[in-house]
Amino acid sequence: MKELVDAATWQLVQDRLANTVGLPVVTVDLHGQIQFSSGQFPFFCTLVMKKGNQFCTLCRQDWASKAAGVYQDTCHAGLYAITVPIVIDDKKVGALMVESIRADQRLEETAVRAARLIGLEPDELVDEIPNIQLQQAHQLNTIRAMLETFAVTLPRIASERSKDRKELQQLNVLFDFLNQVNSTFDVPKILNTTLNFCMKTFPIEDCSIRHGNELARFSYLENRNVAAKPIEDALWAHVSNSRTPLFLEDIRNDFMLGQLQQSHELANSVLAVPILWDGTTKGMVALYAKPGTNMREYESLALALGKRVEVALAAAARYRHAQESAITDKLTNLYNKHYFLEMFKNEVTRAAKFKRPTSLIIFDIDHFKTYNDTYGHPEGDRLLSEMGAVLKRAVGSIDTCCRYGGEEFVVVLPETKPEHALAVAERLRQAVDGHEFPNRKTTISVGCVTCTNSSVSPEFMIKEADRALYKSKHAGRNRTTGFIIVDKNLGTIEANA
């Protein structure tokens, strides 16, 4: 295989890949023999290869023969390897592998069997297991995407004896791009990084990305947005259905797009590439070049780029979901108590600096224990869920609704005066009183407190709001009680609903 590529170029690029993924990377021929090796193997693997290298060679030979696309399997010692085939001149000549991946917490049994197979003491391998870093699912997805990208790009560059320095520079830009999108969960940053990469890598004048449920458009040259929209609507109609790239040498000469007035404003060739995930088109990258520019030769790289972008965006979505789950009450879809305490503390601190008012409403469901005892806890959960929906409809968009715990709820009203806060609290009580909840009529008792200059602590405001709530309960329930704190040195006075 070495006679087919430039060894120095191949080794250089493979070293960068190993450094990026933080794992050993090898290139093997179809017999499983290592041609290029990069990165450092953990001592666990060093022991295995020293005593049982023939078994490692057989594993690599098996993986290289099976790899048609991205192929993942375990070795005889229990570690994973991710393999992609290397194809030069339409012929598979070997495989690129990321090895020594620990994706399973328990390796002891496999390690013991491997040790006996190759003539080691079991403890020699078992003791080294904790020194192998455990890879998470999203990290494995990233490695797969990187391998796919470089399996397409690397042979094309390294097979040229007189290397095109510009292409090698583009590959280094690709490494930088992967490092950047792997280091953030910020969606606009991922998309803008992708746009910048496209402008540096492809011979184009402009580019754009459509992504997400609303297909929001991110573009490099924003002054072309109006002209590009109808063009890209037509491109999207094709790409989203066919899930394949579309290349037009000149937009103006296309039968369909040439009829659009905007085609003469853009006057470009275009390569539209789908962003695919699990076989579904999630978005589109549009690359605009001068008329007559042959963008077809960049299809493979652009497709690999789109796949890597979607991996990064999927990871960002998982991160955002995890963040939201940490602060959201799943039953009511309101913020939870943890978020409320932190947010309320920050709001009171902010308002105190400017001597602005802060208001807090707290309420609970009347006779909720009896409701649970009578209709059962599943019906109680249903009531709480519906209460969350009623609450969100009854308060303002800038007010923050939270489930405080059990059947208690709170609403934070920033910079809201006493009379306005009390009006919101009463409106909320009336909304609940007039709503048809399941099984029987449901009411709430409400407490409201306003500190006109936010000079008291958040804890004191919660305590006073709770005291107002219990005053409503003791007065017969289904009513609102309001308190006002003019200043921390002047005590609390009652306001009438």
**Report field, pTM of the whole predicted structure over 0.95:** no
Element (H, E) at 149: helix 137-158
Q: What is the CA radius of gyration of the chain?
A: 31
pLDDT in tens, the chain (497 residues): 666 777 887 888 888 888 888 899 999 999 999 999 999 998 998 888 888 888 888 888 998 888 888 888 888 888 889 998 888 877 888 889 998 888 776 788 888 888 888 888 888 888 888 888 888 777 788 888 888 777 777 676 665 544 455 555 556 666 777 777 777 788 888 888 888 888 888 888 888 888 876 556 667 776 677 778 888 888 888 888 998 898 988 888 887 777 777 767 776 888 999 988 777 888 889 999 888 888 888 887 888 788 888 888 888 888 887 777 788 898 999 999 999 999 999 999 999 999 999 999 999 999 999 999 999 999 999 999 999 999 999 987 788 999 998 999 999 999 999 999 999 999 999 999 999 998 999 999 999 999 999 999 999 999 999 999 999 999 999 999 999 998 888 878 888 64
List 86's β-bridge partners, or say none: 94
Nearby residues of 280 by Cβ (< 8 Å), 6 or more positions away: none
Please tell me the predicted confidence (pLDDT) of residue 164: 52
**Residue 128 per-residue DSSP state:** T
CA distances from residue 180 to 149, 175, 316, 413 in whole angstroms, order as listed: 15, 9, 13, 39
In DSSP notation, 347-379 reads HHHHHHHTT--EEEEEEEETTHHHHHHHH-HHH
Cα–Cα distance measured from residue 343 to residue 299, given in angstroms and rounded to the nearest whole number? 48
CA 33 to chain centre: 38
Task: Select from 20, 39, 320, 322 the least CA-distant residue to 181.
Answer: 20
| 483 CB-side CA count, 13 A | 27
Task: Select from 45, 10, 141, 32 the least CA-distant residue to 95.
Answer: 32
HEC sequence for 192-248: HHHHHHHHHHCCCCEEEEEECCCCEEEECCHHHHHHHHHHHHHHHHHHHHHCCCEEE
> Which tokens hold the place of 328?
């959201």
Task: Select from 213, 135, 186, 218 the least CA-distant residue to 312.
Answer: 186
The DSSP bridge pattern shows strands 280-289 and 269-277 to be antiparallel
HEC sequence for 305-320: HHHHHHHHHHHHHHHH
Cα–Cα distance measured from residue 243 to residue 59, given in angstroms and rounded to the nearest whole number? 35
Contact 41, 62 (CB under 8 A): no
Contacts 24+ apart (CB under 8 A), 437-440: 437/383, 437/386, 437/387, 438/379, 438/382, 438/383, 438/386, 439/371, 439/374, 439/375, 439/379, 439/383, 440/371
Nearest 5°: phi and psi at 192? -70, -35
Contact 404, 340 (CB under 8 A): yes
Please tell me the predicted confidence (pLDDT) of residue 17: 85
